[in-house]
Chain A
Amino acid sequence: MIRFSAVTKRYPGGLEALRGVTLEVAEGEMVAITGHSGAGKSTLLKLAAGLERASGGTVLVQGQNLGSLGEASLAVLRRRIGFVFQDHKLLYDRSAFENVALPLRICGFPREEAARRVRAALAKVGLLAREKAMPVALSGGEQQRLCIARAIVNRPMVLIADEPTGNLDADYARAIVDLFDSFHQVGVTVLLSTHDEASVARLRCRRVALAAGAVLKAAAA
């Protein structure tokens, strides 16, 4: 589903975030990328989602070489990948409902069909009752779940989450991890990152440790 071959990523200014990462995530698999902050986890996820381009090596997603895709094709590919951003990237002048509806509006979904899907996604993350709420009125955990609802509203085959348990307390973190596990159970390929291995300790999934932009070990749990 996702295949990295000797991928490097260098940012302007010389920072080398990834140094020759080779990694394969099979269809329907769930993989946790662990490592300290600055290890290159976010970069790896962004490359997998087509949000950034690799400086070297190849990134294949669903058989497509992202390096050879044009900007428009890359944007269209992003519609098939759900991404949960570390900083949520919510629109604070729109209701929860409208935030979740954004990816569908971009695709030109019929209104009623879109509303049905938005409500299904909100129900999935337990925010159906808050659909009219503005993001500022939501707690940190609720904002996180709203971001997940937006990521799954397009029913993607791949779900990528950058530090989804980041600054949540243990109970919230467990609920979020369980949520991802439930997507994994229904066949969605899940790729998530965390700097706190304890929060994913309960998950039965492969862990890939990243340090200084390189893969340390790839062990099954």
Chain B
Amino acid sequence: MTWLRLHLDAVGDALRRLASQPFASLVSIAVLGVALALPVVAAVLMKSVGATAAGLDTEPHVSVYMALDAAPEDVRRVEGALRAQPDAAAVKFVSRAQALAELQSTTHLADVLASLDRNPLPDAFTVRMRTSDADRIAAARAAWSRLPKVDQVAADFEWSQHLARWARFGERVVLAIGLLLAGAVAFIVAHLIRLQVLTRRDEIEVSQLVGATAADVRRPFLYHGALEGLFAGAAALGLAALVAAWIGSELSALTPSYAAELKVVFLSPAERAALVAGAAALGLLGAWTAVARELRRFAADR
């Protein structure tokens, strides 16, 4: 029970310290909160982009265009060859007439198209691939382009790989910013706690004289740092939620012009808890380094 009382006393002491200088405490927590909110907002955006991309069909497709003079038998033979390929998940035939109708209905090229004396579009197949392995897709593409009356084979899977690469790059950037700002938080807390230790130097000295161990002296400062981190984490969460809502209102306005719904995906409850706990841990780390350093200096002065 003594152990519990010592810890409760230390928490009470730390809270009283924070409350005794409300303005200074609020400013400190706001600084730390803003620093943490930045990577949180970046992470939320990455998460949202990831969710939007997941809503898109990122499976690789291969388009097979027939020559303009291909006969219906050629088309049937190529279709058979495409379906026989084990990596082809689905084969969809788009006739040149269908393609023209689609082009006329979805673009403003109707007049231009009408002025043409013949349909410039070929019959085509869209093949959804089972694999995203570039070598295997390239092999299928090479085999299909050798089929008779096949004019061109286009594999438009590169963009999805690009997207994945950009996503990895984005995650790396977010991680780097997050690490830098986490370091900043630990340093700021270390500085704040150092000032606290210096202003309470007499109390520390007297406490040690009447029997306080190093752990006894450290305890309230460690809680002080951890609480500052905890409150900063909560503040960062609130700030990030506000920013996400603000950005989200503009983002949803963009939705009608895109197929996939654009929306901000905020942190999950587990991620929120991890953020606050991580911020508290950073505060604890900063406080620990500051207290350990200052106590060593006090000991050397005596």
In the bound assembly, the distance between CA atoms of A75 and B203 in angstroms comes to 15
The smallest C-beta distance from B96 to any residue of chain A, in angstroms, reads 88
Contact A78 B210 (CB under 8 A): yes
Question: Is B212 an interface position by the 8 A CB rule?
Answer: yes
Checking A89, A103, A105, A109 against B205 with a beta-carbon cut-off of 8 angstroms, the contacting residue is A89
In the bound assembly, the distance between CA atoms of A71 and B59 in angstroms comes to 66
Question: Is A107 an interface position by the 8 A CB rule?
Answer: yes
In the bound assembly, the distance between CA atoms of A76 and B206 in angstroms comes to 14
Contact B213 A150 (CB under 8 A): no
CB neighbours (8 Å) of A77 from chain B are 211
Contact B2 A102 (CB under 8 A): no
Residues of B203-260 whose CB lies within 8 A of A:
203, 205-216
The smallest C-beta distance from B216 to any residue of chain A, in angstroms, reads 6
Contact B202 A79 (CB under 8 A): no
Contact A107 B206 (CB under 8 A): no
Question: Is A13 an interface position by the 8 A CB rule?
Answer: no
Given contacts A76-B213, A103-B211, contact A110 B5 (CB under 8 A): yes
Binary flags per residue of A74-89, CB closer than 8 Å to B gives 1, else 0: 0111110001010001
Contact B209 A51 (CB under 8 A): yes
Given contacts A89-B205, A91-B202, A106-B216, contact A150 B5 (CB under 8 A): no
Contact B209 A106 (CB under 8 A): no
In the bound assembly, the distance between CA atoms of A92 and B202 in angstroms comes to 9
Contact B214 A71 (CB under 8 A): yes
Given contacts A108-B2, A108-B3, contact A102 B207 (CB under 8 A): yes
Question: Is B101 an interface position by the 8 A CB rule?
Answer: no
Question: Is B6 an interface position by the 8 A CB rule?
Answer: yes
The smallest C-beta distance from A149 to any residue of chain B, in angstroms, reads 12
Question: Is A72 an interface position by the 8 A CB rule?
Answer: yes
CB neighbours (8 Å) of A85 from chain B are 209
Question: Is B9 an interface position by the 8 A CB rule?
Answer: yes
Contact A107 B213 (CB under 8 A): no
Checking B206, B209, B214 against A72 with a beta-carbon cut-off of 8 angstroms, the contacting residue is B214
Residues of A61-80 whose CB lies within 8 A of B:
71-72, 75-79
CB neighbours (8 Å) of A92 from chain B are 202
In the bound assembly, the distance between CA atoms of A108 and B207 in angstroms comes to 13
The smallest C-beta distance from A86 to any residue of chain B, in angstroms, reads 12
Contact B210 A83 (CB under 8 A): yes
Total number of B residues with any Cβ neighbor in A under 8 Å:
19
The smallest C-beta distance from A115 to any residue of chain B, in angstroms, reads 14
Contact B206 A75 (CB under 8 A): no
Contact A75 B212 (CB under 8 A): yes
Residue of A nearest to B206 (CB): A89
Contact A91 B206 (CB under 8 A): yes
Checking A76, A106, A109, A110 against B207 with a beta-carbon cut-off of 8 angstroms, the contacting residue is A106
Given contacts A85-B209, A110-B5, contact A91 B214 (CB under 8 A): no
Residue of B nearest to A72 (CB): B213
In the bound assembly, the distance between CA atoms of A102 and B217 in angstroms comes to 12
The smallest C-beta distance from B210 to any residue of chain A, in angstroms, reads 4
CB neighbours (8 Å) of B5 from chain A are 108-110
Given contacts A108-B5, A108-B9, A110-B5, contact A78 B203 (CB under 8 A): no
In the bound assembly, the distance between CA atoms of A150 and B207 in angstroms comes to 11
The smallest C-beta distance from B20 to any residue of chain A, in angstroms, reads 11
In the bound assembly, the distance between CA atoms of A100 and B143 in angstroms comes to 92
Interface hub of A71, A77, A107, A154 (most chain B Cβ within 10 A): A107
Residue of B nearest to A105 (CB): B9
In the bound assembly, the distance between CA atoms of A107 and B213 in angstroms comes to 10
Residue of B nearest to A83 (CB): B209
Contact B210 A79 (CB under 8 A): yes
The smallest C-beta distance from A187 to any residue of chain B, in angstroms, reads 21
Binary flags per residue of A88-131, CB closer than 8 Å to B gives 1, else 0: 01111000000000110111111000000000000000000000
Residue of B nearest to A80 (CB): B211
Residues of B156-182 whose CB lies within 8 A of A:
none
In the bound assembly, the distance between CA atoms of A150 and B209 in angstroms comes to 11
What 7 A-B pairs are tightest by C-beta distance, nearest first? A79-B211, A108-B2, A78-B211, A108-B6, A75-B213, A103-B210, A72-B213
Q: List 12 A-B contacts (CB under 8 A).
A: A72-B213, A75-B211, A75-B214, A79-B210, A89-B206, A90-B206, A91-B206, A92-B202, A106-B207, A106-B212, A108-B2, A108-B9
Measured CB to CB, the residues of B under 8 A from A are 2-3, 5-6, 9, 202-203, 205-216
- Contacts A72-B214, A89-B206 given; 7 further ones with Cβ under 8 A? A71-B213, A75-B216, A76-B211, A78-B209, A79-B210, A105-B9, A154-B211
